[in-house]
Structure 1
Amino acid sequence: MQLNGSQILMECLLEQGVDTVFGYPGGTVIHIFDALYEYQDRIAHILTSHEQGATHAADGYARATGKTGVVIATSGPGATNTVTGIATAHMDSIPMVVVTGNVPLPLLGKDSFQEVDIMGVTMPITKHSFIVKDVNQLADTLRRAFHIANEGRPGPVLVDIPKDVSVAMAAYTPQELQVIEKQNTITAESLKNALAILKESKKPFILTGGGVIRADAGEEMLAFIEKMNAPFSSTLMGLGGVNTGHSLFTGMIGMHGSKTSNMAATQCDLLIAVGSRFSDRVISNVKGFAPDAFILHIDIDPAEVNKNVRAVHHLSGDVKLALQKLNAALEDTHVEARQSWVNQIQDWKTSYPLATNQNGTIKPHTVIRALSDLTSGRAIVTTEVGQSQMWAAQYYTHSEPRTFLTSGGLGTMGFGLGACMGAAIGRKDKKVINIAGDGSFLMNCNELATAAHYQLPILIIILDNGVLGMVRQWQDLFFDKRFAGTTIDRKTDFVKLAEAFGAKGYKLERVEDVESVLKEALVQDGPVVVHVPIDKDDKVFPMVPPGAFIQDLITEETL
């Protein structure tokens, strides 16, 4: 059938199973939005307040559902406003397709009004970027974009469509959705070698990463942990891949990980990393990371193997398939011999708990643990970036995959509210909570207007210390308390701000009111903001100092 380019885009979205897109209109995409109007009974469009908010919302939608997030933005500033969200998705391996408009083909390269080479701009932060100059290639390009976004290690793809291509006519032939086969490059010999390493280990330690969640391999990961009778930790991105309430869980690892996890990584004889890329926030000083251990690395991306940490052996391929193969062949060997190692882990967990001091004021852990208890650890939690992010990671019990959504790689302040909206739209069966600091919240608080317009039942907790807490923490500990640029002390009334946007607002100031206020906030039908003033000197502990080994943690007791 003959369709224009905008209609072809709609049909290709339907082919790919897309029922929701996030975006903001403009001159070069006016025909695309006209087609969205035509297809509104099959494709919902969520109009955000800003294109960055659209990308974060599509990102949160993708993380919470496992589907591909889709963004539509106009050319020039509309396109460049998506860059931070694209880079965020790229760093965390999130499948996303961003469709931008551009000026008509004859005006390309002439500094035309709202012209930007967005393909060139985004090339380093996407898996691939396209510009479509022939409407006859549009459908195949879009199909390829979705395929690239989801095959292997996921990531964002950009498709730039000049305005005249969006109105040009072409023949469109429907196609069935192409199933993406899982990468299976694990040889019998490689599997045999991995099993031999596992068999010999007396003190194994397992590190679960975001790749476990991306591969939907939570069940296989849990079975492997229990067959090995091995303690396990998680990276920030891996939280929820296996229930963090499990008795063998040692806490998050790394810069703000638990002392138990960091000690276990230091003293184990085998570290098994599954779907983790060994970022600097995990390993700190690489010379002291797992010094006495063989490292077995399982990851879908061969480029990550031996990039940051040398592995004695690796399995490159889909994490779910790799774990299935290992579980099928793995014998329950040395379970009793490993019990003394497990007992040592339990002793450390008892000796080095996370801080729970109260001191008469509301502490972040009090609020977050109350949220965890009230939701039975089953809400979707999104975060901003900084201290609030780390407290959310440490104190909420993450019991299910795709329920902890955070900007791990890029560390994007302002990510959480957009992601919270996207998750709420994609997972109506879940309560969605954004845990924010006041600095991060103010970066994209305009999206409260979006949440109120669509009456999204989201809860935003603002832990307000009047400072940029994480940077200030570093200044306090390592820069002789020279608080340059981190004392923001805004005069914002967050309750009034919430009400002005059309949300409900509460102020939580007394410890004895924590449970009652949170209970009331959790049952509201629309967006709710709970403003929680906290002390500017509250810090995230434990903490690995810069340049130190991960076992050399600073705690409240060591200050």
Structure 2
Amino acid sequence: MVQRSAGHLLVECLIAQGVDMAFGVPGESYLDVLDGLHVHRDRIRFITCRQEGGASFMADAYGKLTGKPGVLMVTRGPGATNASIGIHTAFQDSTPMVVLIGDVGSDMRDREAFQEVDFGSFFGPGTRGMAKRVERIDDARRIPEYMARAFTTALQGRPGPVVLVLPEDMLTQKVDGQPLPAAPVVQGEIGQQGALQLREMLLKAKRPLVIAGGPGWTPQAAQQLQAFAERWQLPVGNAFRFQDTFDNHHPLYAGDVGIGINPALAQRVKDADLVIALGARLGEMTTSGYTLLQSPRPAQQLVHIHPSAEELGRVYRADLPLCATMPAAAQALAALEPPAHLPWADWAAAAHADYLANLQPQALAGLDAVKDGAIDMPAIIATLQRLLPQDAAITNGAGNFASWVHRYFRFHGWSKGHKTQLAPTNGAMGYGVPAGIAANLVTGRTAFTIAGDGDFLMNGQELATAMQHGGKSIIVLLNNGMYGTIRMHQEREYPHHTSGSDLGQGNPDFCALARAYGYAAERVERTQDFEAALQRALAAPTGTLIEIPLSPEVITTRATLSRIRDNALQSQKAGG
């Protein structure tokens, strides 16, 4: 056998696992891996990012889009800790990821050497950690074993990130091992008995509801979910930030079950007598703080279908827990034979009617809906809906700005052949910009990002990555000069006592900053000017940033209206 360095063998193992792109920031702790990437540059494209947080979000976006583990490469200490935000995102979003961390040499370990971190403790595998598994490779001969296990673990059951720690001196050792081939993902099935039990529960129901989301979807699985819903006339809601799981244009779509949920849909979840949770973890955001479904025993009958047996029963005691991947589960559900008569046709139609009504800007607590001067955000979202390609990847980070897309944009998604929403369920700011760039690099499709001013500044430097590697995205930046979500909470809980949430106006000049990186940029101050700006962005050879200033008063007004609504609800409960 031909001997080569361990770092080169590791790159060969990546190729054997089907890796065609990796993201990272170079470090002296894994120089031999970088040399291997140079040797195999025709097989693997290494996207050099500007900060490890941005690189980790790009790897997460790759995992979401392809269903394969996104590969992240960072150096020890500061590199790994910078990357932890995207690793945590991948864990909570159930995104497959393999993280390769160059580490201190074996002879330096356990002395608090330069940039040394105990990664097993830091990433803490388990439900309270950031990774499914953390392992250190001390024996170069075992690289194929560790690499194959990392990719298998990242994909099996509930997908997630796996961390491999690579001592610097181990990577330069000479070895003659051979890569192991990629292992197939085990397709857990609900089984004939499970399908019959689910059918019996449906036959007894009067107000059923499906909540779909989570990892592992494919176009075929989404189409089979749609066929199941159509045969049984079931209303379907999508879990938090998995709004592309079920076509939002379908007459059985009930809306997104997440932050800022339509009150009518929230009540419908509570009123349902049977909830089929398909792939969704039923986390805090999807359940409105575990109130739509009470833990541990919901008032509704619950069928919980999830790819991880460890997830089933962890928070909710389902009446029928079924461990299955989404392709296998959707195929079984699509084959279920419905009865001749279904008693909930009006229930399903009303759910979709509630969703359509919520697409319209509405008054709150008897007051007129807030308008922001010359900017009408629902109208801008409608323009995006009309002009963006159906397969465009829509990305966002965390902030009040994201609510415009979540409420008003209608995703086609998986059933039309592509994943179209990339958003962090753990509420990580700074996700949207690098995710949009990665989406374009990975798929070649149009990538659209909506960002806030604070959100953009967390990873705006990755525009340089886009320009270097030929990526482009369209970014609409809503600038209100503050951390808007925090300000809204402050205005609601501590009226007139705001602290730490101001960002100031005019610094930086976002359009000048974008142009400095090589993006086109313009500022839009009137709704009627947005369409032309978007058309220019779609036709531009490079990415484009469109800045839209919003008044800070909108946040204050929303918080005031929220207090009015909450006080009215409390008064009603008290009989006032």
TM normalised by structure 1 equals 0.92
Higher relative contact order (CA 8 A, sep 6+): 1
Distance 1:237 1:111, change over 3 A: same
What corresponds to 2:403 in structure 1?
390
Q: Secondary structure at the match of 2:401?
A: helix
Contact between 1:378 and 1:398, CA under 8 Å: does it hold in 2?
no
**d(CA) in 2 for partners of 1:478 and 1:377?**
40
> Partner letter of residue 199 of structure 2?
L
Could you say which residue in structure 1 is the equivalent of 2:287?
283
Q: Decide which moves more: 208-217 or 461-470.
A: 208-217
Alignment correspondent of 2:338: 331
Partner of 2:537: 521
Residues of 1 paired with 2:404 and 2:372: CA distance? 17
For 2:44, the aligned partner's letter is: I
1:484 alignment counterpart: 499
Contact 1:4 1:168 in 2 (8 A): yes
Counterpart for residue 414 of structure 1: 430
Q: Secondary structure, in 3 states, of the residue corresponding to 1:463?
A: strand
How many residue pairs match? The answer is 548
* Letter aligned with residue 150 of structure 1: L
- Equivalent positions of 1:107-256 (< 5 A) are 107-123=108-124, 124-184=129-189, 186-211=190-215, 213=217, 217-256=221-260
Identify the residue that residue 432 of structure 1 maps to in structure 2.
447
Identity of aligned residues (%): 29
> Does the 8 Å contact 1:364/1:463 carry over to 2?
no
Between the aligned partners of 1:224 and 1:252, the Cα distance in structure 2 is: 19
Q: Which amino acid aligns with 1:9?
A: L
**3-state SS of 1:211 partner:** coil
Deviates more, 1:197-206 or 1:85-94: 197-206
Structure 2 distance, partners of 1:173, 1:254, is: 46
Answer yes or no: is the 8 Å Cα contact 1:420–1:433 preserved in 2: yes
**Aligned residue identity for 1:406:** A
Give the counterpart of 1:463 among 464, 478, 481.
478
Partner of 1:495: 511
- Is 2:418 aligned against 1:405? no
Contact 1:542/1:553 (8 A) holds in 2: no
Question: In the alignment, is the contact (CA less than 8 A) between 2:441 and 2:471 conserved in 1?
Answer: yes
Per the TM alignment, residue 48 of structure 1 is displaced from its structure 2 partner at its CA by 0.4
Cα distance in 2 between the residues matched to 1:375 and 1:288: 34
Deviation at 1:456, TM superposition (A): 1.3
Tell me what 1:26 maps to: 27
The answer to whether the 8 A contact 1:212-1:241 is kept is no
* Distance of aligned partners of 1:351 and 1:45 in 2 relative to their CA distance in 1, 3 Å threshold: closer
1:378 Cα deviation (Å)? Answer: 2.7
Provide the rounded CA distance (Å) in 1 between the counterparts of 2:227 and 2:246. Answer: 10
C-alpha deviation, 1:255, in angstroms: 3.4
Counterparts of 1:400 and 1:287 in 2: how far apart (Å)? 28
How far has the Cα of 1:346 moved from its partner? 4.7
Q: 1:345 aligns with which of 351, 356, 360?
A: 351
Question: What does residue 91 of structure 2 align with?
Answer: 90
- Helix, strand or coil: the match of 2:215? helix
Q: Distance in 2 between matches of 1:359 and 1:469?
A: 14
Distance 1:427 1:252 in 2: 26
- Does the CA-based 8 Å contact 1:455-1:525 persist in structure 2? no
Tell me, in whole angstroms, the C-alpha distance in 1 between the residues paired with 2:86 and 2:218: 19
What TM-score do you get using the length of structure 2 for normalisation? Answer: 0.89
Given that 1:456 and 1:525 are in contact with CA atoms closer than 8 Å, whether structure 2 keeps it comes out as: no
Greater mean deviation of Cα atoms: 109-118 or 348-357: 348-357
Distance change >3 Å, CA 351–CA 526, structure 1 → 2: closer
Check whether the contact 1:199–1:333 (CA below 8 A) recurs between aligned residues.
no
1:371 to 361, 380, 384: 384
| Match in the other structure for 1:362 | 375
Give 1:467 shift.
1.4
Taking the aligned partners of 2:261 and 2:76, their CA distance within structure 1 comes to: 42
- Give a deviation string over 1:216-268, Cα, whole Å, max 9, x none: 62112111111110111111232111111111212212431123321321222
Matches of 2:243 and 2:291 in 1, distance apart? 26
Distance 1:542-1:14 versus aligned 2 partners, 3 A rule: farther
Q: 1:173 to 1:348 in 2, by over 3 A?
A: closer
Contact 2:211 2:238 in 1 (8 A): yes
Classify 1:147/1:267 alpha carbon distance in 2 versus 1 (closer, same or farther; 3 Å): same
Question: 1:173, CA displacement in angstroms?
Answer: 2.2
* Inter-CA distance 385–216: structure 2 relative to 1 (3 Å threshold): farther
| Residues 235, 282 of structure 1: 8 Å contact kept | yes
Secondary structure of 1:506's partner? Answer: strand
SS in 2 for 1:538: helix
Contact 1:212-1:238 at 8 Å conserved across structures: no
Cα pair distance change 1:553/1:212, threshold 3 Å: farther
Which of 240-249 and 472-481 deviates more? 472-481
Report the counterpart of residue 317 of structure 1 in structure 2: 324
- Going from structure 1 to structure 2, the CA distance change for 1:347 and 1:68 (only over 3 Å counts) comes to closer
Q: Distance in 2 between matches of 1:298 and 1:156?
A: 21
Q: CA deviation at 1:506?
A: 0.9
Are residues 245 and 350 of structure 1, via their aligned partners in 2, closer, same or farther at CA, if it must alter by over 3 Å?
closer
Superposed CA offset, 1:499-558 (max 9, x none)? 112211111111110111111112212121111111223359899989x99xx799xxxx
CA distance in structure 1 between the aligned counterparts of 2:153 and 2:216, rounded to whole angstroms? 20
Whole-angstrom distance in 1 between the partners of 2:439 and 2:178: 33
**Contact in 1 for aligned 2:253/2:351 (Cα 8 Å):** no
Gap change, CA 1:374 and 1:141, over 3 Å in 2: same
* CA gap 1:359/1:439 in 2 versus in 1, 3 angstroms: closer
CA offsets per residue over residues 125-149 of structure 1, 9 Å max, x none? 1111111011111111111111111
Mark the runs of 5 or more structure 1 residues left unpaired by the alignment: 555-559
